[in-house]
Copies of this chain bind each other. A is one copy, B any other.
Amino acid sequence: MEEGKSWESDDDQVSDVENDAAASFGVNGVDRYWSDMSERNMSYREPLIKRRMNTTSQIAIVGVNVSPIESLDYEIIENELFKQDWRSRKKIQIFQYISLKWAFALLIGVGTGLVGFFNNIAVENLAGYKLLLTTDLMSEQKYYKAFLAYAGCNVVLATAAAVLCAYIAPAAAGSGIPEVKAYLNGIDANSILAPRTLFVKIFGSIFGVSAGFVVGKEGPMVHTGACIASLLGQGGSKKYHLTWNWLRYFKNDRDRRDLITCGAAAGVAAAFRAPVGGVLFALEEAASWWRSALLWRTFFTTAVVAIVLRAFIEYCGTGKCGLFGQGGLIMFDVSSATASYTVPDILAVLFLGVIGGIFGSIYNYLVDKVLRTYSIINEKGAIFKVILVIAISLLTSCCAYGLPWLAHCIPCPEHLKVSCPTVDGSGNFKRFHCPPGHYNDLASLFLNTNDDCIRNLFSTSTEKEFHISSLFIFLVAIYFLGIITYGIAIPSGLFIPVILAGSSYGRLVGRLFAPFSKLDMGLFSLLGAASFLGGTMRMTVSLCVILLELTNDILLLPLVMLVLLISKSVADTFNKGVYDQILKLKGLPYLESHAEPYMRNLVARDVVSGPLITFSGIETVGAILHALRTTGHNGFPVIDEPPLTDVPELCGVVLRSHLLVFLKEKYFSGVKVLSGKEILQRFDASDFAKAGSGKGLTLEDLDIKEEELEMFVDLHPITNTSPFTVVETMSLAKAAILFRQLGLRHMCVVPKAQGRPPIVGILTRHDFMPEHVLGLYPRLNPHK
């Protein structure tokens, strides 16, 4: 287990603070100085590490085997090598670069579209044959056999998913949206986007959804899209001797981030067939940084997904895809419902939104509790994970098969276009145990795929099709099943459980308001789903557009908007969105887009800390090696000192990864001279290109001999001469905004007074975390 290392690996310039500095804060945070970093005592180091261990253990509690977390660097490292490369760029290279970006967007779209389609076909067929088998046995009145067949199939599928997840790629468990969100915020937890995660996510999701769990495939699709994008972005692996010169431009975090943003959008587009919704999802929920150019590329990707899906659906329309075939992926048509509404309707919708928001926030609260409980079980080992999955599978099967016995048989309505009771797998009117000419409404909801169930609930002009008691039983069962299912070791999306619960809730409210309101039950169902989604996910625009694209009726827009706004506002007063909650639970150091209020009372140097390790412009190999060995820092300030310059001056920041490459090549000199020109001739920017996650050089790859330790290295060519800086008295709030807005990994703090050493310290992501800041200054009011 590498968990113990998880935080340490990113403590670029470990933060600490001296005794009196912490004590003196509060009186006047601005008027404090320290004259020399070396004077600072280290008495506070102990508790700091202890606190970190807590955070680390927090990571463990969600039961995900998190690999070392590393920060991503979205800054352009403008060192001499980069500039040399930049100046020698030819027009054709720039054209290639741009074309490649588009080509990759295309590939991501095609890939995600194919996976999305494959996923649907597989689920529809697996679940379809399972349900057909059950129905056949039921119609022969072999009820116990039917249950055994049903539950057996479920357990087998569930075990397959759990085994994949527990033994091959633990990172594939859960929704994946929080992890993608974290990556796009600049947190790289290695295996999150690894090929094996992709593999498990695809098949685990298929098995999990087919197993009848109350889980969706939407979160996993987002994760899948991101994994596909990441694979492409890391294309050209040195390890396998597959490098292409034209791929070198993508060897940086910026371009990979863009690709993964496209991937996340493509995932939503594939899951919901909602291209615009996908773009907005990436924009509103997933991405932390955004550019107008990216909007366009993301849109292109989702358009490709839509076209791929469309082509395949037309192909399947001729019945070549087994049980898959009717109506597209998920597409719920409520457009036949009239969308005119009056004051009582609006009141009903308001009521729906408020209660939906409350239920949504309770959902989040319970998911959090359940995750914490499960983590204790999951921590015990992979086999426990599998057992938990089997237990939940059995419970789900019991609910799905057992609860319909509580429902009454309802005579089939007359003048139906479809057969009643339903004869084939999917359909509104499951016969279950009922006599001919009757159907069991609860079985129609439970013994169906999730997509079909939602389609049933959303169906219009079906006022009386579901009995109130059935809806109530279904709502309660699905609400709690959804909560206890998230967190087990299978890929599990949260959208579908929430939509299921929300739409049955909506129908229930619709039945309550039936005397006053003329809105269709299908519409109520949609609005109920919107209210639950708003209450849990806390997205607005993207959810609204996704729902519109699902239902293909823009006239519903104002009502859906209203419900989303209300339910989000209500739920926001109680707790955070479910993805943010999971992020926090996983201990990922997510940077919020706003600064916390108390940060205005601090300045940058209040959180900056020592010991600051700097290099000289021309440094000995030994000193560098010592610094690399004894610290986990990923960036080191480089200071030019006399005799090289008249006075000490800040040259820039050099990265650990660049130093490792440099030392590996052993371009050392016996004397302290500038050797920039030769280095520029010998090296190329692509030599220092960022390797894929976890593939870079490590200290163990170096082979430095004893006699080489006293030799010199000219660091200038690999030093980023344009690091972003703040003056030490910059308020921490503004420094945080700068750090987050520009996607930095390191930020230098420079002195404000003449005559001081040219750098005061380095800030990293870690230094802006509320836990860190409030740990340093416990007397601060976190809300002021």
| A residues whose Cβ falls under 8 Å from a Cβ of B | 30, 75-76, 78, 83, 86-87, 89, 275-276, 279, 283-284, 290-293, 295-296, 299-300, 303, 306-307, 310, 314, 340, 540-541, 544-545, 548-549, 552-555, 557-558, 561-562, 565, 568, 593-594, 600-601, 603, 645-652, 721-727, 729-731, 733-734, 737-738, 741-742, 748, 750-758, 784
Contact = CB atoms under 8 A, between A and B. Distances in A.
Contact of A721 (B549, B649, B729): B729
Contacts of A757: 754
A544 B565 CA distance: 24
B731 A78 contact: yes
Given A275-B557, A731-B721, A565 B78 contact: no
A754 B291 CA distance: 37
Contact of A724 (B89, B555, B738): B738
A279 B544 CA distance: 12
Given A76-B734, A758-B752, A784 B284 contact: no
Given A83-B601, A89-B784, A752-B758, 20 more contacts: A30-B721, A75-B734, A83-B600, A87-B601, A275-B558, A276-B548, A291-B593, A293-B594, A296-B540, A296-B568, A299-B541, A306-B557, A306-B561, A552-B553, A552-B555, A603-B722, A651-B752, A722-B734, A750-B750, A753-B758
B76 A541 contact: no
The 3 lowest CB-CB distance pairs between A and B, nearest first, are A649-B753, A303-B561, A722-B731
Contacts of A544: 276, 299
Nearest to A76: B734
Nearest to A649: B753
A676 to B, nearest CB: 11
Contacts of A600: 78, 83, 86
A593 to B, nearest CB: 6
Contacts of A87: 601, 784
Nearest to A784: B87
A657 to B, nearest CB: 20
Nearest to A309: B558
Given A275-B561, A292-B593, A295-B540, A734 B306 contact: no
A169 B727 CA distance: 45
Nearest to A743: B741
Given A306-B558, A600-B78, A541 B295 contact: yes
B299 A754 contact: no
Nearest to A276: B545
A725 B727 contact: yes
A540 B754 CA distance: 51
Given A76-B734, A738-B742, A650 B303 contact: no
A731 B721 CA distance: 8
29 contacts: A75-B734, A78-B733, A83-B600, A83-B601, A87-B601, A89-B784, A275-B558, A279-B541, A283-B283, A284-B292, A284-B295, A290-B290, A295-B540, A303-B557, A303-B562, A306-B561, A310-B558, A314-B340, A552-B554, A649-B752, A650-B727, A650-B729, A722-B727, A724-B730, A724-B738, A727-B748, A737-B742, A741-B742, A754-B758
Contacts of A652: 729
A540 B649 contact: no
A200 B687 CA distance: 61
Contacts of A741: 741-742
Contact of A565 (B303, B727, B730, B750): B303
A647 B562 CA distance: 59
Nearest to A552: B554
Contacts of A725: 725-727, 730, 750
A750 B650 CA distance: 11
A751 B283 CA distance: 38
Nearest to A80: B30
Contact of A754 (B78, B557, B730, B756): B756
Contacts of A729: 650, 652, 721-722
A314 B558 CA distance: 15
Given A279-B541, A752-B758, A724 B734 contact: yes
A97 to B, nearest CB: 13
Nearest to A83: B600
A283 B303 CA distance: 19
Contacts of A737: 742
A582 B469 CA distance: 64
A557 B284 CA distance: 21
A246 B723 CA distance: 41
A754 B292 contact: no
B541 A647 contact: no
Contacts of A721: 30, 729, 731
Contacts of A275: 557-558, 561
A708 B441 CA distance: 89
Contacts of A83: 600-601
B561 A753 contact: no
B562 A649 contact: no
Contacts of A548: 276, 554
A646 B594 CA distance: 36
Contacts of A75: 734
Given A593-B291, A734-B724, A753 B647 contact: yes
Contacts of A784: 87, 89
A87 B738 CA distance: 22
A204 B89 CA distance: 51
A557 B302 CA distance: 11
Contact of A753 (B541, B648, B722): B648
Contacts of A290: 290
Nearest to A553: B552
A585 to B, nearest CB: 21
A549 to B, nearest CB: 6
Contacts of A310: 558
A540 B293 CA distance: 10
Contacts of A723: 727, 730
A647 B561 contact: no
Contacts of A279: 541
Nearest to A302: B561
A737 B254 CA distance: 14
B565 A754 contact: no
Contacts of A645: 753
Nearest to A734: B722
Which residue, of A284, A549, A558, A758, has the highest number of chain B Cβ atoms within 10 A?
Answer: A558
Contacts of A731: 78, 721-722
Nearest to A306: B558
Nearest to A303: B561
Contacts of A651: 752
Contact of A541 (B276, B552, B558): B276
A105 to B, nearest CB: 11
Nearest to A75: B734
Contacts of A555: 552
Contacts of A78: 600, 731, 733-734
A492 to B, nearest CB: 25
A726 B724 CA distance: 7
Contacts of A758: 752-754
